């Protein structure tokens, strides 16, 4: 069953521009331009695209904050813009960069408020809170004022707050931004569990491809207000031909490292940038380099979404891609 | 159980929706009160400062009357009655919905969005935002002055005059609430227009603290037929104090405050709806 239905949705903005000293012009900008997709119950979809591509405009329309200029939208069977207050009880929203928790109050108080605002029955509230506390390790934090929590702890707190009322759809905007590796792993594990066990439909916008790799079976790429790709993550790598980069620091400057399946993208003194296909494991390459060269330090860089999308355009591999 | 908060107009009924709005306001206000209690010393200091400032405010009036027995024909007790009723109405409105003035900031920062995705009415959430018990300071001072002026007034207290006082305070509070909300709605279009709301509410209340005879007739007429501030206390006070109308309006105007308040609420409600619709269609 489709939980999110988007059919030829458009959203124009009027931008006022200055033309000369007094004259003001108006220009129509199409933030979302004929978007169509459906998301089934229990799916976890990554929604990615460069800044200004129309991601947040889409999410704002799906939450009912923004009224579309045209097309048809349904979330959980409801027209979001027309029945925003009703829909609010069925969706959860987490903004990675903006907390909805009460800064000066113990974490628990924010949950108590949610219980009342969302009118969560007592038994269900207790069960959901217990589950979140257990899976997100919130037990020791419940009585701590939110301002004293670390960024990762706060994000976990925000996630729990968004799920206490059993939303059927969860919108996540950059849920792992700024978190350390351990916190990222906890957040991802919790989301995977929630998605699987609760059949919560998840729409995730992120710049971190690892989030998508670990959580989403499906990716939608938006650019200039249109979907340029909708399919499994493998398709993205296939089409984008994306590469990860292994940055190695050797003891001294060497000629470019020669390994099969590895392309030296750049060298700078003792440092070399080795590009390899994103689907390939870094471990054998690291082992090979370490065996043959005096390796001092290394790091792996994930492909940036902007680069992948740029490559999608450059290769012109997607039939539906509009001319930018 | 019905879900008054949901439906956005369909079903539930107006009374249930209003009840839900009030309950949401209470819930969020309670959170803010507890938040300020996290900083007790700061709260105590600001409450003390606030009370001191409002008492100095009234001291100005006392100082004026130390030099003259009458101000444009009104005695100290009569002027004190105007001062107190204006301050009570403004103070109560400020406690209830004063925070809507922060609308422009919320539109700019996008934090209005977080209110729109909660199932509580956005206006109730906005009105309760950053609530502080400090605001009660002004209200307490205003009630103290009111109590004193009521005993000092040289008025023959008939029943209609006695009943007029609470009715006046109630209608005045409603009018100021509507002005707070209505004028703040301008910020949906012009985010920097917070001063308009301040000028009309705080500025208006200051004007109402003095006898209407102090001001030019054009200004007084403006508060009757323009921004309906005169219905907060000037017009009903004419009946309570048994004075003649400087504009010579029919006596019915002295009893028209409930009607004026209802019209103000209607206008503010329409402005809020229009503003929210504009926001949701521009997303700016």
Write the pLDDT tens digit of every residue in B2-50. 344 444 444 568 899 899 999 999 999 999 999 988 888 888 888 888 8
Q: Is A66 on the interface with B (CB under 8 A)?
A: yes
Write the pLDDT tens digit of every residue in B215-254. 999 999 999 999 999 999 999 999 999 999 999 999 999 9
Write the pLDDT tens digit of every residue in B66-82. 998 899 899 999 999 99
- Indicate the pairing of strand A201-205 with strand A218-223: unpaired
Q: Which residues of A touch B283 (CB under 8 A)?
A: 13, 57, 60, 65-66
| Residue-averaged pLDDT of chain B | 90
Would the pLDDT of A320 be above 50?
no
Distance, CA of B243 to CA of B211 (rounded, Å): 11
pLDDT of residue B51: 79
Q: Which residue shows structure tokens 């990554």?
A: A46
CB contact under 8 A, A60 and B283: yes
Q: Which residues of B touch A89 (CB under 8 A)?
A: 3, 5-6, 119
What residues contact residue A29 under an 8 Å CB cut-off, 6+ apart?
A: A12, A13, A14, A15
Structure-token pair, residue A234: 């493998």
Cα–Cα nearest to A129, from A180, A80, A163, A175: A163
Q: Which residues of B touch A82 (CB under 8 A)?
A: 8
Q: Kindly tell me the burial class for residue A223, based on how many C-beta atoms sit within 10 Å of its own C-beta (0-12, 13-18, 19 or more).
A: buried
Write the pLDDT tens digit of every residue in A254-294. 888 888 888 888 888 899 999 888 778 889 989 998 888 89
DSSP one-letter string for B227-283: S-GGGTTHHHHHHHHT---TT---GGGGG-HHHHHHHHHHHHHHHHHHHHHHHHHH-
CB contact under 8 A, A63 and B119: no
CB A195 within 8 A of CB A44: yes
What are the strands of the beta sheet with A295-301, ordered from one edge?
A263-268, A271-277, A243-250, A295-301
Q: Name the strand (E) or helix (H) holding B133.
A: none
Write the pLDDT tens digit of every residue in B182-214. 999 999 988 778 889 999 999 999 999 999 999
Cα–Cα nearest to B177, from B228, B215, B132, B243: B228
Structure-token pair, residue A210: 């690892």
3-state secondary structure of A94: strand
Distance, CA of A148 to CA of B90 (rounded, Å): 37
Fill in the DSSP letter of residue B71. Answer: B
pLDDT of residue B162: 95
Extended strands (E) in B150-195: none
Write the pLDDT tens digit of every residue in A81-96. 999 989 999 999 998 7
Write the pLDDT tens digit of every residue in B79-127. 999 999 999 999 999 999 999 999 998 888 888 998 999 999 999 999 9
- Facing A84 at nearest CB: one of B3, B114, B116: B116
What are the C-alpha distances in Å from A65 to residues A87, A129, A200, B122, B283? 11, 27, 21, 11, 8
pTM, whole model, 2 decimals?
A: 0.85
What residues contact residue B87 under an 8 Å CB cut-off, 6+ apart?
A: B54, B138, B139, B141, B142, B145, B205, B209
pLDDT of residue A315: 55
Q: Which residues of B touch A88 (CB under 8 A)?
A: 117-119
CB contact under 8 A, A93 and B120: no
Write the pLDDT tens digit of every residue in A132-142. 999 999 999 99
Name the residue with higher pLDDT: A318 or B29: B29
Structure-token pair, residue A42: 């229990």
Distance, CA of B269 to CA of B222 (rounded, Å): 22
pLDDT band at B283 (very low <50, low <70, confident <90, very high): low
Q: Kindly tell me the burial class for residue A172, based on how many C-beta atoms sit within 10 Å of its own C-beta (0-12, 13-18, 19 or more).
A: buried
pLDDT of residue B280: 85
Distance, CA of B136 to CA of B46 (rounded, Å): 12
CB contact under 8 A, B8 and A113: no
3-state secondary structure of A13: strand
pLDDT of residue A313: 65
CB B165 within 8 A of CB B144: no
Distance, CA of B80 to CA of B150 (rounded, Å): 9
Chain mean position to CA A227: 16
| ipTM, 2 dp | 0.85
Q: Hey, where are the domains in chain B?
A: 14-282
CB B25 within 8 A of CB A113: no
- Facing A63 at nearest CB: one of B39, B111, B117: B117
Structure-token pair, residue B202: 């705080």
- Facing A65 at nearest CB: one of B3, B119, B280: B280
- Facing B118 at nearest CB: one of A86, A95, A117: A117
Distance, CA of B8 to CA of A81 (rounded, Å): 10
Q: Among positive and negative, which fits the CA dihedral B66, B67, B69, B71?
A: negative
Name the residue with higher pLDDT: A258 or A109: A109
Average of per-residue pLDDT across A207-217 = 86
């Amino acid at each position: 069953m489709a939980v999110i239905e988007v059919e030829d949705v458009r959203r124009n903005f009027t931008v006022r521009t200055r033309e000369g000293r007094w004259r003001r012009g108006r220009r129509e900008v199409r933030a979302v331009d004929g978007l169509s997709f459906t998301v089934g119950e229990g799916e976890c979809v990554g929604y990615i695209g460069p800044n200004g591509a129309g991601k947040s405009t889409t999410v704002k329309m799906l939450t009912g904050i923004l009224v579309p200029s045209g097309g048809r939208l349904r979330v959980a069977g409801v027209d979001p813009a027309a029945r925003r207050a009703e829909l609010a009880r069925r969706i959860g929203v987490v903004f990675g960069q903006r907390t909805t928790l009460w800064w000066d109050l113990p974490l628990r108080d924010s949950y108590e408020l949610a219980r009342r605002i969302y009118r969560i029955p007592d038994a269900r509230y207790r069960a959901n809170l217990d589950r979140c506390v257990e899976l997100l390790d919130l037990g020791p934090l419940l009585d701590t004022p939110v301002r004293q929590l670390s960024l990762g702890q706060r994000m976990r707190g925000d996630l729990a707050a968004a799920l206490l009322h059993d939303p059927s759809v969860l919108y996540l905007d950059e849920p792992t931004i700024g978190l350390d590796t351990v916190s990222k792993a906890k957040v991802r594990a919790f989301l995977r569990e929630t998605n699987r066990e609760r059949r919560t439909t998840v729409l995730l916008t992120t710049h971190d491809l690892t989030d998508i790799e670990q959580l989403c079976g499906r990716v939608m790429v938006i650019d200039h207000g249109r979907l340029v790709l909708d399919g499994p993550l493998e398709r993205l790598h296939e089409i984008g031909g994306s590469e990860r980069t292994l940055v190695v620091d050797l003891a001294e400057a060497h000629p470019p490292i020669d390994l099969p399946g590895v392309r030296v993208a750049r060298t700078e003194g003792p440092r070399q940038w080795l590009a390899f296909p994103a689907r390939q494991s870094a471990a054998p390459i690291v082992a090979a380099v370490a065996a043959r060269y005096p390796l001092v330090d290394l790091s792996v860089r994930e492909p940036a979404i902007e680069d992948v999308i740029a490559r999608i355009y450059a290769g012109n591999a997607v039939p539906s891609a509009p001319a930018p | 159980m019905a879900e008054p908060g949901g439906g956005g107009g369909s079903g539930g009924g107006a009374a249930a929706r209003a009840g839900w709005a009030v309950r949401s306001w209470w819930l969020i206000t309670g959170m803010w009160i507890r938040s300020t209690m996290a900083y007790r010393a700061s709260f105590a200091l600001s409450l003390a400062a606030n009370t001191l400032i409002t008492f100095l405010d009234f001291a100005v009036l006392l100082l004026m009357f130390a030099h003259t027995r009458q101000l444009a024909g009104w005695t100290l007790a009569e002027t004190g009655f105007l001062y107190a009723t204006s301050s009570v109405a403004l103070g109560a409105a400020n406690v209830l919905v004063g925070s809507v003035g922060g609308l422009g900031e919320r539109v700019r920062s996008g934090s209005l969005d977080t209110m729109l995705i909660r199932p509580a009415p956005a206006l109730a959430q906005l009105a309760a935002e950053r609530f502080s018990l400090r605001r009660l300071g002004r209200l307490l001072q205003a009630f103290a002055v009111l109590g004193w002026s009521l005993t000092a007034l040289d008025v023959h207290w008939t029943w209609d005059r006695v009943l007029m006082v609470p009715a006046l305070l109630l209608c005045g509070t409603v009018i100021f609430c509507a002005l707070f909300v209505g004028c703040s709605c301008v910020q949906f279009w012009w985010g920097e227009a917070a001063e308009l709301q301040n000028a009309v509410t705080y500025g208006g209340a200051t004007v109402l603290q003095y006898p209407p005879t102090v001001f030019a007739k054009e200004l007084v007429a403006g508060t009757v037929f323009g921004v309906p501030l005169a219905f907060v206390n000037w017009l009903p006070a004419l009946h309570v104090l048994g004075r003649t109308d400087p504009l010579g309006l029919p006596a019915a105007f002295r009893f028209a405050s409930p009607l004026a308040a209802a019209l103000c609420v209607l206008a503010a409600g329409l402005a809020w709806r229009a503003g929210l619709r504009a926001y949701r269609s521009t997303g700016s």
